[in-house]
A and B are shown apart, each in its own frame.
Chain A
Amino acid sequence: MRAARQVWSGVYNLILGLLTVFKHLGHKAITLQYPDERMPMFERSRGVVVLLSDPETGKLNCTACMACARICPVYAIDLERSEEPDPETKKRYPVKFEIDNTTCAFCGLCEEACNFDAIKLTGKYEFSVYDQKTLLYDRDFLQELGRDVPYEKRKKPVPKAKAAPKADPTSPKPEEPGSPKPEAKPEESPKESPGEDKPEA
Chain B
Amino acid sequence: MFELEGIFNAVGNFLASFLGSPLLQIVSIIAVAGVVIGFLMVLALFLVWWERKLSADFQVRIGPMRTGPHGVLQTIADALKLLQKEDIVPLTADKKVFFWAPVVCFVTCFLAYICIPFGKGLIARDLNIGILYIVAITTFTVISLLMAGWASNNKYSLLGGMRSAAQIVSYEVPLSLSLLGTVMLAQSLSMVTIVQGQGGSFLHWYIWRQPLGFLLYVTAATAEVNRTPFDIPEAEQELVAGYNIEYSGMKFAMFFLAEFINMFTVCAIAATLFLGGWNPPFEFLSFIPSWVWFLGKSLFLVFILMWFRWTFPRLRVDHLMAFAWKFLLPLAFLNIIVTGFLIYLFE
Residue on A nearest B57 in the bound complex, by CB: A25
Q: Which of A17, A21, A25, A29 contacts B62 (CB 8 A)?
A: A29
Contacts of A20 in B (CB 8 A): 311
Q: Are B60 and A17 neighbours in the complex by a CB distance under 8 Å?
A: no
> Roughly how many angstroms separate A20 CA and B311 CA in the complex, as a whole number?
9
Contacts of A22 in B (CB 8 A): 307
> Roughly how many angstroms separate A31 CA and B59 CA in the complex, as a whole number?
10
Q: Are A33 and B65 neighbours in the complex by a CB distance under 8 Å?
A: yes
Contacts of B312 in A (CB 8 A): 14, 17
8 Å CB interface, A3-35 against B = 14, 17-18, 20-22, 24-25, 27-31, 33
Q: Which of A14, A21, A28, A30 contacts B58 (CB 8 A)?
A: A21
Q: Which of B60, B62, B65, B308 contacts A24 (CB 8 A)?
A: B60
* Mask: chain B, 56-87; 1 = CB below 8 Å from A; 0 = not: 11111110010000000000000000000000
B237 to chain A, nearest CB (A): 20
Q: Are A21 and B310 neighbours in the complex by a CB distance under 8 Å?
A: yes
Residue on B nearest A14 in the bound complex, by CB: B312
B222 to chain A, nearest CB (A): 12
> Roughly how many angstroms separate A86 CA and B308 CA in the complex, as a whole number?
71
Contacts of B65 in A (CB 8 A): 33
B64 to chain A, nearest CB (A): 11
> Roughly how many angstroms separate A135 CA and B311 CA in the complex, as a whole number?
46
> Roughly how many angstroms separate A30 CA and B63 CA in the complex, as a whole number?
12
Q: Are A21 and B307 neighbours in the complex by a CB distance under 8 Å?
A: yes
Q: Are B61 and A29 neighbours in the complex by a CB distance under 8 Å?
A: yes
Residue on B nearest A18 in the bound complex, by CB: B311
Q: Are A17 and B59 neighbours in the complex by a CB distance under 8 Å?
A: no
Q: Are B307 and A24 neighbours in the complex by a CB distance under 8 Å?
A: no
Contacts of A29 in B (CB 8 A): 56-57, 60-62
Contacts of A18 in B (CB 8 A): 307-308, 311
> Roughly how many angstroms separate A22 CA and B65 CA in the complex, as a whole number?
22
Contacts of B307 in A (CB 8 A): 18, 21-22
Contacts of A14 in B (CB 8 A): 311-312
Contacts of A24 in B (CB 8 A): 57-60
> Roughly how many angstroms separate A17 CA and B229 CA in the complex, as a whole number?
13
> Roughly how many angstroms separate A33 CA and B62 CA in the complex, as a whole number?
8
Q: Are B61 and A31 neighbours in the complex by a CB distance under 8 Å?
A: yes
Contacts of B58 in A (CB 8 A): 21, 24-25
8 Å CB interface, B45-62 against A = 56-62
B256 to chain A, nearest CB (A): 24
Contacts of B61 in A (CB 8 A): 29-31
Contacts of A25 in B (CB 8 A): 57-58
Contacts of A27 in B (CB 8 A): 57, 60
8 Å CB interface, A137-195 against B = none
Q: Among B56, B59, B311, which residue has the most Cβ atoms of chain A within 10 A?
A: B311
A75 to chain B, nearest CB (A): 43
Known contacts A29-B61, A33-B65: does B311 contact A17 (CB below 8 Å)?
yes
B47 to chain A, nearest CB (A): 18
> Roughly how many angstroms separate A29 CA and B56 CA in the complex, as a whole number?
8
A145 to chain B, nearest CB (A): 30
* Mask: chain B, 19-56; 1 = CB below 8 Å from A; 0 = not: 00000000000000000000000000000000000001
> Roughly how many angstroms separate A181 CA and B61 CA in the complex, as a whole number?
57
Residue on A nearest B327 in the bound complex, by CB: A7
> Roughly how many angstroms separate A131 CA and B311 CA in the complex, as a whole number?
46
> Roughly how many angstroms separate A21 CA and B55 CA in the complex, as a whole number?
10
Residue on A nearest B304 in the bound complex, by CB: A18
> Roughly how many angstroms separate A22 CA and B311 CA in the complex, as a whole number?
9
B50 to chain A, nearest CB (A): 13
* Mask: chain B, 293-322; 1 = CB below 8 Å from A; 0 = not: 000000000000001101110000000000
B67 to chain A, nearest CB (A): 13
Q: Are B311 and A30 neighbours in the complex by a CB distance under 8 Å?
A: no
Q: Are A30 and B310 neighbours in the complex by a CB distance under 8 Å?
A: no
> Roughly how many angstroms separate A24 CA and B311 CA in the complex, as a whole number?
11
A42 to chain B, nearest CB (A): 21
A139 to chain B, nearest CB (A): 39
> Roughly how many angstroms separate A27 CA and B54 CA in the complex, as a whole number?
12
> Roughly how many angstroms separate A20 CA and B310 CA in the complex, as a whole number?
11
Q: Contacts A17-B311, A24-B58, A31-B62 known; list 9 others, CB within 8 Å.
A: A18-B307, A20-B311, A27-B57, A29-B57, A29-B60, A29-B61, A29-B62, A30-B60, A30-B61
A-B contact pairs, 22 of them (CB 8 A): A14-B311, A17-B311, A17-B312, A18-B307, A18-B308, A18-B311, A20-B311, A21-B58, A21-B307, A21-B311, A22-B307, A24-B57, A25-B57, A25-B58, A27-B60, A29-B61, A29-B62, A30-B60, A30-B61, A31-B61, A31-B62, A33-B62
Which 9 A-B pairs give the minimum distances between C-beta atoms?
A21-B311, A29-B62, A17-B311, A27-B60, A31-B61, A30-B60, A25-B57, A24-B58, A21-B58
